Amino acid sequence: MCPKKRGTLLLLKKNYFMSQNAITIESLEENLKVLARQRAIYSVLFIGAIIFIVVSGVGVANQYNAGSFTRGVENFFDYPADLFSDAFEAGWGWFGIVLSFIPALFETFSAAVFSTVVGASIALILCPLATINLSPNQVTVQIVRRTFDILRSFPELVFALILLYLMGKSIVPAIIAVTLHTIGAMGKLFSEAIENIDMKPVDGLKSVGARWYQIICFAVYPQVLPLVLSYSLLRLEINVRASTILGFVGAGGIGAYLTASLQWRYGDEVLAIMFLLVATITALDYFSSYVRHKLIGKISA
Amino acid sequence: MSIAVYDRKVSFQEIYQSVEKKAYYQKLTTLVSIGAILLYFVFSIIQFDLGSISRKWSPERASRLFLDTYAHKDHVVMNWKDTSKISVNFEGDYRYQYPSFPEWLERIGDGKDIAILTFNSGSKAIFRDDKIIFEQSKSEDRKFIFGIGDNGKPYAEAYDNDGNEKDLPNWIRVTESKVEVRPSLYERIQIYKRKVEVHRYEFGWKYFWFDFFSPLKDYSLPEALSLIFSNERIEPDKTNFELVLSEISDNEQWMHGTVLFSILETLLMAVLGTLLASLLGLPLAFLAAYNITPFKFIRFSLRRLFDMLRGIDMIIWCLIFVRSFGPGLFTGIFAIAFTDTGTLGKLMSEAIENADNKQQEGVKSTGASTILQHRFGIIPQIMPVFISQSLYYLESNTRGAVILGAMGAGGIGLQLLGAIRTGNDFENVGYMAVLIVLLVTVMDQMSAFLRRFLIGIEKN
C-alpha cells in the first residue's frame, strides 16, 4: 500500500542522467530551476483544470437540474424539518413505528448475510483457479479472472432490474444479483491474497505427495482465512446497503417500505426507517472494524 | 514451553496425545462450522422461499428477452376478415410500417394464395385467405396447416410428405382462443380468432445508426461517412456532415444523443462529487487532527460531523437532497460529496496524526512558520495516500452514481430503469448495460493509470 516513489523523483533522475557528462553545481542548479518551473506550471494547470471542471460542471448541472441550485440550498432544511415534526407529532408512538419495521429490516439483513456467505464461499472455491502460482493451467486463470472482472463491473442494479422483470417482485432477484456481484469482488480480493501467501507449506505438502485439493485445503486456506473473514465482514456492510437499494426498486425488504412511505409522505415512518438503516450500518461498521482489528492483530502476531 | 516439558519429564506418549487431542478439536471445529453454514443455507432456502425460483422462472420468457437484446423482428399481420391487406411493420410498432413488401415476403396474385413469407432458415409460411400453411425446410419436409375452424376456434394440423395426418409436435400449443407456433427461436406464428401474426427474427441491431424515418435509413455507417466527403447534398438545407451527425444523435429508437448525454451526466456526478469531497475533506481533516489543531472542542465536533456524514448512507442523503434540489445532477453530486467528505475526512485525519513528525521538526528547525511546517513537513507525507484514496473513491462513485441515478438523480441509471420498466426495448437495455460496463471499466483503468503516474506505486 505504502507508496515508494514519486513522479517528481523519477523526473529528477531522468534529467540528472541526461546531463551526467558534466555535473557541476551550476548545471545542477540550472536543472533544479527548470524542474521548479515545470512543477509550477503543472500545479497551475492542475488547479486551473479543477476550477474549470467545478465551474463548468456546476453550470451544466444547474442547467439540467429540475430545481435550481439557490432554491435548493434555501429549502435544504425543509424536508428534514418536516420529517422531524411528523415524528414529534407521533410522540411515543414513533418508537412503536420503529419496532414495527424491524421484521422488514431483518429480511433485508438476512438477505445480505445469505448473499455474502454464498458469494464468499463460491469465490473461495474459485479463487485458487485464478492465481498463477496454484492454478493447474494458465487458460483457467485467464477465464476465471475475466469472469470475476465481468461480474464485478456490472452494478448490482442492472442484474437485479432484469431479474425483477423476469421473476416478479420478491427478494430472490436481489439475492441473486448481490451474490453475483459479491463473487466478482471477493474473487479478485481472495485471489490477490492467495498470490501473496507463503509458498513453503505448499512445497512441503507437495513433497509428501499431497493432491491438489489437499494442498488447497491444508496449505492455502488456513493462511488466508483471517483475511477472508475480514473481507467478508466488510462486504456484508456493503451488501446491506445494496439490498436496501434493490428493495427500493422493487425487491422487497425495508427498501420497499421506504419507497411506500416516501410516496405516501408519512414523515414519521420515513424517519423511523432512516433511523433503523443508519443504526444498522453504523453498528455493523463498528462491529466489523473491531473484529477486523482483532483478526489482523492475529495475522501480524 | 519446551523447557517446561523437559522439566516435567513427560513421555512421548503424553506429547503425542496432547497433539492428537488438539488436532481432534480442530477437526471438530471445522466440521461444526461447515455444518452450521449448511444448516444456515437450509434455513435461508426456507426463509426466502428460494424454491420459488423454479416456479417463477420461465425459460421461454427469459430466452425471448435475451433474443430481443441481440436480434430484431418484423411483424406480419393479416386479418381474417380482410385478407387482401397484409401489414408488415418493424418490432410490432404501428408507426414503423414498411411502405412496400420487403424481399422476404412475396405477393402472389392468383386467387387463394396471397403471399409467401420466407424465414431465415428457409422455412416458408404461405398466407391463404382461410389458412396459413407452414412448410419446414428440415430433412423431413413436414407441412402444417393453421386456420379458423367452422366453430370459430383456431386449429392446427400436421402432415408428413405423403399427406398423412400426424400428431402435433410439442412446439405447437393449441388453446381455446389461440394457436402458438414456435418451431425455432427465430420463427413464431400466432393464430388468433381475428388475425394471424407472424414474427420473423433476424440477427443484429437494425436501424442502429439511422432510424426508420431517417433519409439515410438505407445507408450503412461507412457509406454514410463517405457521404460526408461527397458534394451532393441529401437534404438541401443541411451539409451532409450535419445531417449524418444529427440523424445519429436524434435516432428515435436508440436515442444515442440522450444516452451519451446521460453517461456524461453520470460521469460528471461522480467526478464533481468526489472532487468536492476531497476539496472539503482535506482542510477539515487538518482541523480534526490533534497534532495540527490544539482546540479539543473543534476536533471533537469535526469528528462527530464526519461520523454523521459517513453514517447516514449515500441513498438516504440522495432521498433528502432530491426533495430540496429536485431530480437532477445536484442531488447525486451532493449525496456523493457529503458521504465521502465524512469518509475522506476521517481517513485523512488519521493519516495526518500518523505522519512522521521528524520531517516537521526538521522544517521547524530552519525557523519556518507553522503553516510552512505543515506545508513541507506533513502534506508531502500524506499526499500519496490522499491521491490514491480519492482515486479509489472516484472509481467506486462511478458505480454509485449509476445507482443514485436510478433513485432520482438522473443520468444513465434513470434511463436504464425507464428502459427496463417499459419491458419491450430489451435491445436498449443491453446497449445501456454495455455502455455502463464500459464506463466503469474505463474509469477503473484510468484511475489505476493516474495512481501509477502520480504516485508511482509498482504492482506488487
Query: Is residue A1 one of the residues assigned to a domain?
Result: no
Are residues A38 and A106 both part of a single domain?
no
Interatomic CA distance for residues A230 and B264, integer angstroms: 36
pLDDT of residue A117: 92
Q: Is residue B423 domain-resident?
A: yes
Rounded CA gap, A1 and A109, in Å? 32
Of B62, B330, B420, the CB nearest to A65: B330
Select from B62, B272, B420 the Cβ nearest to the Cβ of A54: B272
What residues of chain B lie within 8 A of the CB of A166, using their CB?
A: 57-58, 61-62, 65
Query: Considering chain A, what percentage of its residues have pLDDT values greater than 90?
Result: 24
Which band of pLDDT confidence, cut at 50, 70 and 90, is reported for residue B459? very low
Q: Which of B40, B323, B455 sits opposite A6 (nearest CB)?
A: B455
Q: Please, are residues B341 and B280 in contact by the beta-carbon 8 Å criterion?
A: yes
What is the percent of chain B with per-residue pLDDT over 90, rounded to a whole number? Answer: 17
Verify that B95 and B22 share a domain, yes or no. Answer: no
Same structural domain for residues B24 and B95?
A: no
Q: Summarize the confidence of residues A83-92 as an average pLDDT.
A: 85
Q: What is the pLDDT of residues B417-439, one digit of tens each?
A: 888 888 777 888 888 988 998 99
B9 domain residue, yes or no: yes
Do residues A231 and A186 make contact, with C-beta atoms less than 8 angstroms apart?
A: yes
Is B315 within 8 Å of A241 when comparing Cβ atoms? yes
Residues B293 and B439 in one domain: yes
Cβ contact A60–B329 (<8 Å): yes
In angstroms, the separation between the Cα of residue B414 and the nearest Cα of chain A is 11
Average pLDDT, chain B: 84
Q: How far is A22 from chain B (nearest CA, A)?
A: 29
**pLDDT in the model for residue A183:** 95
Q: Which stretch of DSSP H or E encloses residue B127?
A: strand B124-128
More confident residue, B336 or A134: B336
Instruction: Write down the pLDDT at residue B110.
Output: 59
Rounded CA-CA distance A254/A278 in Å is 13
Question: Is the pLDDT confidence value at B199 over 80?
Answer: yes
The answer to whether residue A86 is domain-embedded is no
A22 located within any domain:
yes
Would you call B406 and A166 a contact, using CB atoms and an 8 Å cutoff?
Answer: no
Query: Do B125 and B41 sit in the same domain of this protein?
Result: no
Residues A131 and A271 placed together within one structural domain of the fold: yes
CATH number reported for the structural domain that contains residue B303 in this entry: 1.10.3720.10
Q: How confident is the model over B26-82, as pLDDT tens digits?
A: 889 989 988 998 898 888 888 887 777 777 777 777 887 788 888 888 888 888 887
Question: Which of A73, A171, A244 shows the shortest C-beta gap to B315?
Answer: A244
Average pLDDT over residues A21-41: 85
Domain annotation covers residue B404: yes
| Contact at CB, A277 and B313, closer than 8 angstroms | yes
For residue A76, is it within any domain?
no
Nearest to A79 among B320, B388, B458 (CB): B320
CA-based nearest distance A44→chain B, Å: 16
Closest chain A C-alpha to B5 CA, distance in angstroms: 24
- In this structure, the answer to whether residues B30 and B86 fall within a common structural domain is no
B35 and B88 housed in the same domain: no
**Shortest CB distance from A170 goes to which of B44, B52, B311?**
B52
The parent domain of residue A42 ranges over 7-55
Range with the poorest average pLDDT among A81-90, A169-178, B5-14, B175-184: B5-14
Has residue A33 got a pLDDT over 80? Answer: yes
Domain carrying residue B439: 256-455
Query: Cβ–Cβ of A278/B403 closer than 8 Å?
Result: no
Q: Which residues of A229-240 are buried (b: 16+ CB within 10 A; e: fewer)?
A: bbbbbbbbbbbb
Q: How confident is the model at residue B9 (pLDDT cuts 50, 70, 90)?
A: low
Instruction: Indicate whether A171 pLDDT > 50.
Output: yes
Shared-domain flag, residues A135 and A200: yes
Task: Determine the average pLDDT of the residues in B90-101.
Answer: 80
Tell me, yes or no, whether A232 lies in a domain: yes
Q: Are residues A139 and A244 in the same domain?
A: yes
User: Do residue B44 and residue A110 have CB atoms under 8 angstroms apart?
Assistant: yes
A177 shares its domain with A47: no
Q: Which residues contact A292 (CB under 8 A, 6 or more apart)?
A: A230, A233, A234
**Whether the predicted pLDDT of A44 surpasses 90:** yes
What pLDDT is recorded for position A66? 67
Domain shared by A114 and A26, yes or no = no
Residue A67 domain-assigned? no
- Same domain assignment for residues A142 and A290: yes
* CATH number of A225's domain: 1.10.3720.10
What is the spatial distance between Cα B159 and Cα B445, in angstroms, rounded to a whole number?
Answer: 60
- Give yes or no: residues A240 and A115 share one domain: yes
Average pLDDT on A155-171 reads 84
Residue to substitute from A53, A54, A65, A195, interface B, most B β-carbons within 10 A = A65
Q: State the pLDDT confidence band at A24, using cuts at 50, 70 and 90.
A: confident
Kindly report, residue by residue over B308-323, the tens digit of the pLDDT. 888 888 888 888 888 8
Residue of B323, B431, B438 to mutate, testing the A interface (most A Cβ within 10 Å of its Cβ)? B323
Instruction: Please say if the pLDDT value at position B365 is more than 90.
Output: yes
Do residue B324 and residue A76 have CB atoms under 8 angstroms apart?
yes
A184 lies in some domain: yes
User: Do B304 and B380 reside in the same domain of the chain?
Assistant: yes
Chain B residues with CB inside 8 Å of A262's CB? 319
Instruction: Give yes or no for residue B445 having a pLDDT over 80.
Output: yes
Kindly list the residues from chain A whose CB atom is less than 8 angstroms away from the CB atom of residue B330: 61-62, 65, 67, 69, 72
Residues B440 and B303 both lie in one domain: yes
A157 with B56: Cβ contact below 8 A: no
Whole-number Cα distances in Å, A270 to A83, A256, B308, B311, B353: 7, 11, 18, 17, 38
Minimal CA separation from B413 to chain A, in Å: 9
**CB–CB of A3 and B319 under 8 A?**
no
- Greater confidence (B237 vs B258) lies with B258
State which amino acid sits at residue B31: L
CA atoms B6, B8, B12, B14: torsion sign? negative
Q: Tell me: do B291 and B379 sit in the same domain.
A: yes
Residue B127 lies in a domain: yes
State residue A4's pLDDT score: 44
Which of B325, B450, B453 should one mutate to test binding to chain A, selecting the residue with the greatest count of A CBs within 10 A? B325
Residue B266 has pLDDT above 90, yes or no: yes
Structurally, how many domains does chain A consist of? 2
Q: Could you tell me if B11 and B118 lie in one domain?
A: no
Is the CB of A64 less than 8 angstroms away from the CB of B329?
yes
Closest CA of chain A from B416, distance in Å? 8
B78 and B32 in one domain?
Answer: no
Report pLDDT digits (tens) over A201-213.
999 999 999 998 8
pLDDT at A15: 54
**Inter-chain residue contact A79 with B56, CB threshold 8 Å:** no
Instruction: Mark whether B384 and B448 lie in a shared domain.
Output: yes
Q: Provide the pLDDT for residue A182.
A: 95
Give pLDDT tens digits for B135-181: 887 656 678 888 888 788 888 888 877 777 878 888 888 888 888 88
Q: How many domains does chain B have?
A: 3
pLDDT number for residue A13: 53
pLDDT at A1: 39
A–B CB contacts, 8 A cutoff, strictly below: 175
**Confidence (pLDDT) at A5:** 44
Do A201 and A136 share a structural domain? yes
Residue B35 located in a structural domain: yes
Instruction: Note whether A239 and A116 are same-domain residues.
Output: yes
Nearest to B440 among A53, A153, A258 (CB): A153
State whether A162 and B312 contact (CB < 8 Å): no
More confident residue, A190 or B423: A190
Instruction: Please give the helix or strand (H or E) that residue A281 lies within, else none.
Output: helix A267-300
User: Which residue among A155, A165, A282 places its CB closest to the CB of B423?
Assistant: A165
Is A44 part of any domain?
A: yes
Contact B325 A65 (CB under 8 A): yes
Quote the pLDDT of residue A18: 54
How is residue A57 written as a grid cell? 460542471
- At residue B267, the pLDDT reads 93
Output the CA–CA distances (angstroms, integers) from residue B276 to B21, B113, B331, B338, in the order listed. 59, 71, 13, 9
* Nearest-10 Cα torsion for A274, A277, A280, A282: -70
